[in-house]
Amino acid sequence: MNIAVAQSGGPTCAINASLVGVYKEALKTPQIDAVFGSINGIEGIINDELVDLKLIIKTNEDMELLRQTPSTVLGSCRYKLPDVDEQSDTYKKILNCFEKHRIEAFFYIGGNDSMDTVAKLSDYFREHDVHIKVVGIPKTIDNDLPVTDHTPGFGSAAKYVAATVQEIIRDSSVYSIESVTIVEIMGRHAGWLAASTCVLRANDEIAPHLIYLPECKFTSEGFLEDVRKQQAKHKAVIIVVSEGMQIEDTKSLRDDSVDVFGHQQLSGIGKTLENLVRENIGCKVRSIELNVMQRCSSHICSKTDIDESEQIGSSAVKAALSGETGKVMVFRRISDIPYVVKIDSVDAHETANKEKFFPKEWITDDQNDVKEKAIRYFLPLIQGEVKIAMKNGMPVHFKLK
Amino acid sequence: MNIAVAQSGGPTCAINASLVGVYKEALKTPQIDAVFGSINGIEGIINDELVDLKLIIKTNEDMELLRQTPSTVLGSCRYKLPDVDEQSDTYKKILNCFEKHRIEAFFYIGGNDSMDTVAKLSDYFREHDVHIKVVGIPKTIDNDLPVTDHTPGFGSAAKYVAATVQEIIRDSSVYSIESVTIVEIMGRHAGWLAASTCVLRANDEIAPHLIYLPECKFTSEGFLEDVRKQQAKHKAVIIVVSEGMQIEDTKSLRDDSVDVFGHQQLSGIGKTLENLVRENIGCKVRSIELNVMQRCSSHICSKTDIDESEQIGSSAVKAALSGETGKVMVFRRISDIPYVVKIDSVDAHETANKEKFFPKEWITDDQNDVKEKAIRYFLPLIQGEVKIAMKNGMPVHFKLK
């Protein structure tokens, strides 16, 4: 038998590690002949664009380099599989591709949408009595997938963000004048990544002084009061805000400017809060977006995350071989200290198209910070450093030739 | 005798390493009793706010942590010393502070403005027959100080930028659609840091496909033609632009928007080029600012830079003890391969208030890239990694208690 694997959604530092996990486990499994990589997610299956992984991953060194290379070596897509009654053609193309290449198990590494694909595809196969296994391997820096304790890719993003916010704290504290620095962190609906900056307190940082999440109740008046209170204590106030945070009066506060071409410019929440501070407090204020660096800065990835991401890929292969299908692999946390997780599988419908939010009970009563419990949750996920391969003073990335 | 040291200007990853260099050399020098750190640059001297470094740097571990902590442990200032005939009071305050604390040599770590302070202060002492030595230690991520081959702090910024742009290349290349990614890099007048991304080619990256510096001739028409040419070859085009780059028709092209409070928003050049691409080419386009992370991301600092920054601090102490004053320490490059530099000193007037630009002869005829020679210049400066002290999965910073 052969198997196939694809990568989907936004990049993280750990998607390639999960691919390596699938590939390594397949190499150890005598009944698996070839592992095909699908180019650009499920699109590669639909369009029959596959690559035999043994042609691109040739050595153990390739394997290690790929493990520590960010983004998706096979490309990605933002493709949502249509319902079968709407477009059964697509399902037939997928089935054709699998049959043509004798693919008996398919592994999809991705976020919410990909877990939806896993659910739909496995339902279709079951209904048509096709014995191809479909198993999902989660990934997202947003950490917003239900059931699983955390998602592969999140720990590395959190480690980068913690290190970077700590450096921004140092950078912001040099002058003798009052200042406010606002760091905007990814997370469209869930505030996990912004919240994770609380780990800095385990290393004796007081900052970030304020943390705002989409899950917080927020008013601009309350925000300005929060800032003023912090200014009474700290010359340089550091604020972390999740990009998805909503202001009650968003429309009037967001930057409604148009550019020279008449296009509306939608400022991020960081810029909006910057404007708010400038207008109402008038001190030096700066907003910083960590942008795509949050999801691709593998030079400071979390060893725990990369190792776990490989393991969950490998577990997916074992699950499929033991007959499971329509499942998504998840982490279950057994304990924080010592940190113990086990890998399990759940029905893909339980995770598809659903989001897991930061727990309201971990937010302080003032709605501007997170509680101690959150630190205990986040800390294990950022532990350990991967020995990064360097050449000419720069990290070496695995690249398709 | 005692000595004093101060740090000034914008943060870098290497300013504390130069401070450690001064302190370590002083410890080895029997005739030096105490080393005073001045809080917030020269302002600490003027206001008599000094701290005895032995009270804050107590162990070898402190020394090593401080070496790898970004920004300025003693704070900084943006203070330009007035001319002596305008405000001789300030000079008298400085002299009083030095005499009160028996300070016979003063070391100023900083950029252009600080070298101006070194020149003025040493002139004043010479004219008044005061035997206090004043020596400047350069630092700036802009690398725009004259005479010296390169500036302490630049190599670490270049290493961070190279690693990060490489990660952005991976991140940008995942989808099957055409895209343009514009990375805006610091450098108000000189394009050194943006140019340094050419080092990625030593690791087989083709990108960045276009590099624009303030030193380039630039027109928006030529830019769009450049982008279209690259799009014919690459699905994901990566462009690096220096924040200081000027467009001939800047005023009309820059984002003239106002925010909700009526404040004009001056977009950066990255955003301006993003708008230009969106309007004229219409593909997916994104601009990314590396912001203050460029100057403070010590978690991936250059060992060469940190070691050299310490050495130049130490050399400054030796120079002062051998009688030099009104000098700035500089690097002279003896050869690229093997990389050999020696440390020298020059009259501070030669560097004060002057800028060194990226050589026009290292820019390609098309004005949109740099030549091979630049790679040879930059590569040695980013070599080697500092073993970063970690605790709880995060870098440990040295902090004043």
Chain B CB contacts of A304 under 8 Å are 393
Instruction: Pick the residue of A377, A379, A394, A399 with the most B CBs within 10 A to test the interface with B by mutation.
Output: A394
Active site residues of B: 142
- Taking the C-alpha atoms of residue A298 and residue B12, their distance in angstroms, rounded to an integer, is 22
Distance from CA of A271 to the nearest CA of B (A): 10
Instruction: Pick the residue of B13, B73, B114, B174 with the most A CBs within 10 A to test the interface with A by mutation.
Output: B174
Size of interface A-B (CB pairs under 8 A): 209
pLDDT recorded at residue A160 = 98
Indicate yes or no: CB of A171 within 8 angstroms of CB of B71: yes
| Helices assigned H by DSSP within B199-325 | 220-233, 250-253, 269-280, 293-296, 303-321
Of residues A142, A144, A226, A369, which has the active-site annotation? Answer: A142
Chain A CB contacts of B156 under 8 Å are none
Helix H, strand E, coil C: the string for A104-167 is EEEEEEECHHHHHHHHHHHHHHHHCCCCCEEEEEECCCCCCCCCCCCCCCHHHHHHHHHHHHHH
Closest Cβ opposite residue B394 in set A173, A200, A258: A200
Instruction: Pick the residue of A164, A167, A201, A301 with the most B CBs within 10 A to test the interface with B by mutation.
Output: A167
Tokens of A300: 């400071």
Indicate yes or no: CB of A71 within 8 angstroms of CB of B173: yes
Those residues of chain A that have pLDDT short of 50 are 250, 252-265
Indicate yes or no: CB of B72 within 8 angstroms of CB of A259: no
Q: Given phi > 0 = left and psi -120 to 50 = alpha, else beta, which region is B161?
A: alpha
Indicate yes or no: CB of A170 within 8 angstroms of CB of B302: no
Chain A CB contacts of B286 under 8 Å are 292
Chain B CB contacts of A375 under 8 Å are none
Domain limits of chain A? 2-153+300-353, 156-296
Indicate yes or no: CB of A76 within 8 angstroms of CB of B174: yes
Tell me which chain A residue has its CA closest to the CA of residue B175.
A76
Indicate yes or no: CB of A11 within 8 angstroms of CB of B300: no
pLDDT recorded at residue A112 = 87
How far is residue B81 CA from its own chain's centroid? 21
Residues 6+ apart with CB under 8 A from B231: B178, B180, B237, B281, B283
The dotted CATH code for B2-153+297-353+386-395 is 3.40.50.450
Chain A CB contacts of B173 under 8 Å are 71, 75
Indicate yes or no: CB of B393 within 8 angstroms of CB of A399: no
For the stretch A199-235, pLDDT in tens is 999 999 999 999 999 999 999 999 999 999 999 999 9
Q: Do the bridges between strand A390-391 and strand A394-395 make them parallel or antiparallel, or are there none, so unpaired? A: antiparallel
Chain B CB contacts of A172 under 8 Å are 292
The dotted CATH code for B157-294 is 3.40.50.460
Chain B CB contacts of A141 under 8 Å are none
Q: What is the largest CA-CA distance in chain A?
A: 72
Closest CA to A169 of A154, A233, A161, B59: A161
- Taking the C-alpha atoms of residue A238 and residue A306, their distance in angstroms, rounded to an integer, is 30
Closest Cβ opposite residue B260 in set A72, A252, A384: A252
- Taking the C-alpha atoms of residue B169 and residue B102, their distance in angstroms, rounded to an integer, is 55
- Encode A355-369: b = buried (16+ Cβ within 10 Å), e = exposed: ebebeeebbeeebbb
Instruction: Please check whether the two domains, B2-153+297-353+386-395 and B157-294, share a CATH topology.
Output: yes
Those residues of chain B that have pLDDT short of 50 are 250, 252-265
Q: Is the peptide bond before A30 cis (omega within 30 degrees of 0)?
A: no
Q: Burial of A52 by CB count in 10 Å (0-12 exposed, 13-18 middle, 19+ buried)?
A: middle
Indicate yes or no: CB of B204 within 8 angstroms of CB of A70: no
Indicate yes or no: CB of A176 within 8 angstroms of CB of B71: no
CATH value of A156-296 in 3.40.50.460, 3.80.30.20, 3.40.30.10, 1.10.3720.10: 3.40.50.460
Closest CA to A180 of A274, A289, A246, A271: A274
Tell me which chain A residue has its CA closest to the CA of residue B262.
A257
Chain A CB contacts of B278 under 8 Å are 261, 263
How far is residue B280 CA from its own chain's centroid? 35
Tell me which chain B residue has its CA closest to the CA of residue A78.
B175
Closest Cβ opposite residue B256 in set A163, A260, A393: A260
* Fold for the domain defined by A2-153+300-353: Rossmann fold (3.40.50)
> Number of H helices and number of E strands within chain B?
14, 13
Indicate yes or no: CB of A168 within 8 angstroms of CB of B399: no
Closest CA to B192 of B211, B164, B167, B169: B211
For the stretch B314-331, pLDDT in tens is 999 999 999 999 999 999
pLDDT recorded at residue A248 = 67
Q: Which phi and psi (to 5°) does residue B197 adopt?
A: -65, -10
Indicate yes or no: CB of A75 within 8 angstroms of CB of B175: yes
| Helices assigned H by DSSP within B281-371 | 293-296, 303-321
- Encode A107-130: b = buried (16+ Cβ within 10 Å), e = exposed: bbbbbbbbbbbbbbbbbbbeeeeb
Distance from CA of A128 to the nearest CA of B (A): 31
